[in-house]
Amino acid sequence: MSTLCHEFSKIGFTDQTVILCDQCEKEYHIGCLREHNLANLKKLPKGDWFCRNNCKRINSLLKNLLNREPETLSDDMLMFWREKQRSNKNHNSEADSNIEMKFVLLRGKSAARESRKLLTQTVKIFHEGFDPIIDSTSGRDFIPSMVYGRKIWSQDFAGMLCAMLTIDSKVVTAGTLRVFDEDIAELPIVATRKSNQGKGYFQLLFTCIEKVLSSLKIKKIVLPAADDARSMWTQKFGFELIAPDQLTELRQSCPAIMTFQGTSILQKELAR
Cα separation of 125 and 93, whole Å? Answer: 26
pLDDT in tens, the chain (272 residues): 334 444 444 557 787 888 888 999 888 888 888 888 788 887 888 889 998 899 999 999 999 999 999 999 988 888 878 877 776 655 555 556 678 899 999 999 888 888 999 999 999 999 998 888 887 777 788 899 999 999 887 788 999 999 999 999 999 999 999 999 999 999 999 999 999 998 899 999 999 999 999 999 999 999 999 999 999 999 999 999 999 999 999 988 888 898 888 899 999 999 87
What is the set of domains in the chain, with CATH numbers? 1-51 (3.30.40), 60-269 (3.40.630.30)
> For residue range 169-200, what is the model confidence (pLDDT) as tens digits?
999 999 999 999 999 999 999 999 999 998 89
Cα dihedral 126, 127, 130, 134 sign: positive
Are 262 and 213 a contacting pair, CB within 8 Å?
no
What is the reported pLDDT for 5? 47
183-197: string of b/e by CB count within 10 Å (b at 16+)?
ebbbbbbbbbbeebe
Among 213, 216, 217, 221, smallest CA distance to 239 is for: 221
Which H or E run includes 141?
none
What is the reported pLDDT for 86? 75
Write out the DSSP string of 2-24.
-------B-SSSSTTBEEE-TTT
In sequence order, the 6+-apart residues with CB closer than 8 A to the CB of 21 are: 27, 28, 49, 50, 51, 52, 55
Q: Which amino acid is at 108?
A: G
What is the reported pLDDT for 6? 43
3-state secondary structure of 134: strand
What is the reported pLDDT for 89? 55
